[in-house]
Amino acid sequence: MTDFENLRHSSAHLLAAAVTSLWPEALPTIGPVIENGFYYDFDNLTVSETDFPKIEAEMKKIVKDWKSFEKIEIDAKDAENTFKENPYKLELIEDLSDKEEKITLYKSGDFLDLCSGGHIEDPKEIKYFKLLSVAGAYWRGSEKNKMLTRIYGTAFPTQKELDEYLEQRALAEESDHRKIGKDLNLFVFSDLVGKGLPLLTPKGSVIRRELERFVVDEELKRGYQHVYTPSLAKTELFKTSGHYPYYKETMYPVMKVDEDELILRPMTCPHHFMLYKSAPRSYKELPIKLAEIAPQFRYEKSGELSGLMRVRTFILSDSHIFATKEQATEIIKDVIDLINFLNGKLGFEVGKDYRFRLSLGKRDDEKKFYKDDKAWDFAEKVLRDVLKDIDAPFFEAPGEAAFYGPKIDVQMKKVNGTEETAFTVQYDFVMPKRFELKYINEKGEEVEPIVIHRASIGAFERSMAFIIEKYKGNFPTWLTPVQVKVLPITDRNLDYANRVAKILRDNNIRVEVDERNETLGAKIRNAQNEKVAYMLIVGDKEEKSDAVSERGRSGKDYGVHPLEKFVEDIKKEIEEKSIN
Amino acid sequence: MTDFENLRHSSAHLLAAAVTSLWPEALPTIGPVIENGFYYDFDNLTVSETDFPKIEAEMKKIVKDWKSFEKIEIDAKDAENTFKENPYKLELIEDLSDKEEKITLYKSGDFLDLCSGGHIEDPKEIKYFKLLSVAGAYWRGSEKNKMLTRIYGTAFPTQKELDEYLEQRALAEESDHRKIGKDLNLFVFSDLVGKGLPLLTPKGSVIRRELERFVVDEELKRGYQHVYTPSLAKTELFKTSGHYPYYKETMYPVMKVDEDELILRPMTCPHHFMLYKSAPRSYKELPIKLAEIAPQFRYEKSGELSGLMRVRTFILSDSHIFATKEQATEIIKDVIDLINFLNGKLGFEVGKDYRFRLSLGKRDDEKKFYKDDKAWDFAEKVLRDVLKDIDAPFFEAPGEAAFYGPKIDVQMKKVNGTEETAFTVQYDFVMPKRFELKYINEKGEEVEPIVIHRASIGAFERSMAFIIEKYKGNFPTWLTPVQVKVLPITDRNLDYANRVAKILRDNNIRVEVDERNETLGAKIRNAQNEKVAYMLIVGDKEEKSDAVSERGRSGKDYGVHPLEKFVEDIKKEIEEKSIN
Cα separation of B268 and B298, whole Å?
12
Contact of A376 with A361, CB cutoff 8 Å: yes
Distance from CA of B233 to the nearest CA of A (A): 5
Domain end call among B438, B456, B471: B471
Distance from CA of B433 to the nearest CA of A (A): 16
CB contact under 8 A, B201 and A275: yes
Domain end call among B438, B471, B504: B471
- Which of A202, A221, A297 shows the shortest C-beta gap to B225? A202
Vertex A143 angle, CA A142 and A149, to 5°: 85
Vertex B13 angle, CA B7 and B14, to 5°: 85
What is the predicted pLDDT for the residue at A13?
Answer: 96
Among candidate residues A405, A400, A412, the one with its CA nearest the CA of residue A339: A412
DSSP, res B350 = B
Which residues of chain B are within 8 Å of residue A257 when distances are taken between CB atoms? 252-253, 299
What is the predicted pLDDT for the residue at A1?
Answer: 42
Query: Does the structure show a pLDDT above 90 at B562?
Result: yes
CB contact under 8 A, B278 and A253: no
Q: What CATH number is attached to the domain comprising A99?
A: 3.30.980.10
CB contact under 8 A, A194 and B275: no
Cα separation of B201 and A226, whole Å?
8
Domain end call among B140, B168, B196: B168
CB contact under 8 A, B194 and A257: no
Domain assignment present for B181? no
HSE-CB of B557 using CA atoms within 13 angstroms: 4
Cα separation of B383 and B289, whole Å?
18
What is the predicted pLDDT for the residue at B3?
Answer: 65
Give the model confidence (pLDDT) of B319-337 as tens digits: 999 999 999 999 999 999 9
Average pLDDT, chain A: 93
Domain assignment present for B294? yes
Cα separation of B394 and A368, whole Å?
65
CB contact under 8 A, A234 and B299: no
Q: Are residues A156 and A83 in the same domain?
A: yes
Distance from CA of A271 to the nearest CA of B (A): 7
Picking from A275, A460, A575 by the largest number of B CB atoms within 10 A of its own CB, the best residue to mutate is: A275
HSE-CB of A42 using CA atoms within 13 angstroms: 24
Q: Are residues B76 and B149 in the same domain?
A: yes
Q: Are residues A417 and A486 in the same domain?
A: no
Query: Does the structure show a pLDDT above 60 at B1?
Result: no
At residue A388, the 3 state secondary structure works out as helix
CB contact under 8 A, B227 and A202: yes
CB contact under 8 A, A278 and B190: yes
- Of all residues in chain A, the one with the smallest CA distance to B231 is A313
Contact of B141 with B302, CB cutoff 8 Å: no
Which residues of chain A are within 8 Å of residue B185 when distances are taken between CB atoms? 279
Task: Give the domain extent around B486.
Answer: 477-576
- Mean pLDDT (whole number) for B102-110: 92
Which residues of chain A are within 8 Å of residue B313 when distances are taken between CB atoms? 230-232
Cα separation of A151 and A149, whole Å?
7
CB contact under 8 A, A257 and B227: no
CB contact under 8 A, B257 and A256: no
Cα separation of B453 and B432, whole Å?
12
What ipTM was assigned to the predicted interfaces of this complex?
Answer: 0.83
Cα separation of B507 and A571, whole Å?
19
What is the predicted pLDDT for the residue at B142?
Answer: 79
Q: Are residues A428 and A492 in the same domain?
A: no
What is the predicted pLDDT for the residue at B555?
Answer: 85
Domain assignment present for A181? no
At residue B257, the 3 state secondary structure works out as strand
Least confident of A200-209, A273-282, B130-139, B237-246: B237-246
Q: Are residues B292 and B211 in the same domain?
A: yes
Question: Torsion-angle region of residue B203: left (phi > 0), alpha (psi -120 to 50) or beta?
Answer: alpha
- Which of A193, A257, A277 shows the shortest C-beta gap to B230? A193
Q: Are residues A231 and A154 in the same domain?
A: no
- pTM of the entire structure? 0.83
- Which of A227, A230, A258 shows the shortest C-beta gap to B202? A227
Give me the number of domains chain A comprises.
3
Contact of B236 with B261, CB cutoff 8 Å: yes
**B450-459 vs B419-428, strand pairing mode:** antiparallel
Distance from CA of B563 to the nearest CA of A (A): 21
Give the model confidence (pLDDT) of B534-555 as tens digits: 999 999 999 999 999 999 998 8
Give the model confidence (pLDDT) of A445-461 as tens digits: 999 999 999 999 999 99
Distance from CA of B415 to the nearest CA of A (A): 26
- Mean pLDDT (whole number) for B499-514: 96
Distance from CA of B300 to the nearest CA of A (A): 10
Which residues of chain A are within 8 Å of residue B259 when distances are taken between CB atoms? 302
Q: Are residues A457 and A502 in the same domain?
A: no
Q: Are residues A130 and A279 in the same domain?
A: no
For residue A447, the cross-strand partners are: A439
- Of all residues in chain A, the one with the smallest CA distance to B208 is A228
Strands (E) across A26-126 are located at: 27-28, 33-34, 37-43, 70-75, 102-108, 111-114
- Of all residues in chain B, the one with the smallest CA distance to A230 is B197
- Which of A193, A231, A256 shows the shortest C-beta gap to B237? A193
CB contact under 8 A, A200 and B301: no
Domain assignment present for A139? yes
Q: Are residues B285 and B251 in the same domain?
A: yes
- Give the count of Cβ contacts less than 8 A between chain A and B: 163
DSSP, res B448 = P
Length of chain A: 580
Query: Does the structure show a pLDDT above 90 at B246?
Result: no
Among candidate residues B363, B361, B440, the one with its CA nearest the CA of residue B405: B361
Which residues of chain A are within 8 Å of residue B213 when distances are taken between CB atoms? 213
Contact of B275 with B229, CB cutoff 8 Å: yes
Indicate the helix (H) or strand (E) that contains A64.
none
Sheet containing A557-562: give its strands across.
A511-513, A484-488, A534-538, A547-552, A557-562
Q: What CATH number is attached to the domain comprising B375?
A: 3.30.930.10
**A534-538 vs A484-488, strand pairing mode:** parallel
- Of all residues in chain B, the one with the smallest CA distance to A313 is B230
| Greatest extent of chain B over all pairs of C-alpha atoms, in Å | 92
**C-alpha distances out from residue B88 to B24, B108, B438, Å:** 16, 21, 60
- Of all residues in chain A, the one with the smallest CA distance to B296 is A231
Domain assignment present for A252? yes
Which residues of chain A are within 8 Å of residue B483 when distances are taken between CB atoms? none
What is the predicted pLDDT for the residue at A3?
Answer: 65
- Which of A200, A230, A258 shows the shortest C-beta gap to B193? A230
Number of H helices, E strands in chain A: 18, 28
Give the model confidence (pLDDT) of A415-440 as tens digits: 767 788 999 999 999 999 999 999 99
Question: Torsion-angle region of residue B174: left (phi > 0), alpha (psi -120 to 50) or beta?
Answer: alpha
Distance from CA of B396 to the nearest CA of A (A): 36
Domain assignment present for A117? yes
Query: Which residues of chain A carry a pLDDT beneath 50?
Result: 1-2
Which residues of chain B are within 8 Å of residue A143 when distances are taken between CB atoms? 258
Which residues of chain A are within 8 Å of residue B247 when distances are taken between CB atoms? none
Picking from A227, A436, A508, A517 by the largest number of B CB atoms within 10 A of its own CB, the best residue to mutate is: A227
**A313-323 vs A450-459, strand pairing mode:** antiparallel
Q: Which residues of B170-204 are buried (b: 16+ CB within 10 A; e: fewer)?
A: eeeeebbbbbbbeebebbbbbebbbbbbbbbbbbb
Give the model confidence (pLDDT) of B257-299 as tens digits: 877 899 999 999 999 999 999 999 999 999 999 999 999 999 9
CB contact under 8 A, B194 and A260: yes
- Of all residues in chain B, the one with the smallest CA distance to A298 is B257
- Which of B213, B233, B255 shows the shortest C-beta gap to A252? B255
Distance from CA of B260 to the nearest CA of A (A): 8
Residue A399 burial by CB count (10 A; 0-12/13-18/19+): exposed, middle or buried?
Answer: exposed
Q: Are residues B13 and B67 in the same domain?
A: yes
Q: Are residues A482 and A457 in the same domain?
A: no
CB contact under 8 A, A234 and B208: no
Domain assignment present for A371? yes
Domain assignment present for B390? yes
- Which of A185, A229, A256 shows the shortest C-beta gap to B199? A229
Q: What CATH number is attached to the domain comprising A559?
A: 3.40.50.800
- Of all residues in chain B, the one with the smallest CA distance to A250 is B257
CB contact under 8 A, A271 and B199: yes
Angle at which helix B5-22 crosses helix B52-63, to 10 degrees, equals 110
Higher pLDDT, B426 or B117: B426
Q: Are residues B452 and B371 in the same domain?
A: yes
